[in-house]
A and B are shown apart, each in its own frame.
Chain A
Amino acid sequence: MLAFWLRGYRLYFRMVGASIRAQMQYRYAFFMNILGWAMSYAGTAVTMWVMLSSFKALAGWTFWELIFLFALAVLSWGVCVLFFSHFRSMDQYIVNGTFDRFLIRPLHPFFHFMAMKFDVGAFGQLLFSIAAVVIAYIQLGLDWSLWKWGVFLGAVAGGVFIQSGIVVLISAIAFWTTRSERFYWVVMFPAKSMMNYPLTLYPRILQWLFIFIMPFAFVNYLPALLLLDKKHPVYSPYWGSVSLLVGILFFWICYRIWMLGLSRYKSTGS
């Protein structure tokens, strides 16, 4: 069993290493990709600043609190993109028939597909978000206990699982419809943008959706309530401490649906 995992681990790094070298072949694009993402997120932060300079606070959140909320989401999204970004275009593999390659090798297809790419462009997201979290931490004069650092790490890891879960879930649609990338732009992208702001800005039904169905609230809003000592009349701040648990459960469900899709693919081949 241990040997099995060790081999998988080794193989993952070999394949991912190859993917990074492949991306390095286009050196200019490699650096511009990283820089591009960092700049694009910095741009969103500036928009927030412009907005807040005339309103002072948004739903009770100050500028640096908002930056923290935003950066927390970008941080886990960045890690998710590193490992899962290519699931977004899995439908293209299915349409042009190259997906079959993942079924003729002695590897688990999910593992094999996952190991095909490691998107270094995500270093841009990580660069921006780590810097933003650090600055916000200082500006807000935070001084976390060990417990809160644990909550923070749990939120990042949980956020990775939740967002990766959605990306995997959306890619699985391709097993049924052969097309899935548009769902990403219709579902994932707007939802992600909404999570840059406090959940309480949105109607109750959307809040519930983001807590119970598509658990984006566990990526940043709920942990941020806890980490920034903010109060909410309904949602207990301690909900923010279970992000990792929610994330693992959610990811597992999405993974099962992906596997279900794969078995459908094997019986239809389209």
Chain B
Amino acid sequence: MARIEEVVKSLPALFKPEKAKGWNRVILLDLQGEEPSKWTLTINDGACAVSEGQASEPKLTISGNSEYICQMFTGETPPMKLVNAKLLRMKGPMMDAIAFSGLWNIPKKA
């Protein structure tokens, strides 16, 4: 399995439903770099589902290289560091972009 697929498909297990109360969103990962691909995250009623491709009109689009998404969700690089360095771009409502990083149990690297 490709690395990005493995990471993205692990997101429902990392998802913290208690952080997403009242926060239902469709989020598109529009990725370039080592593994160009598109993934749709659907957060609805406290559940997170992942599908490959662009399923519907996203509220928030996260774009950048696939390796940075891998770094973010494996805890290798803090999300805000990637965003501040503009290695990942977030297009959509500002508060959705702020909220996004708080929805996941991202492993902490020692």
- Judge: A and B partners, yes or no: no
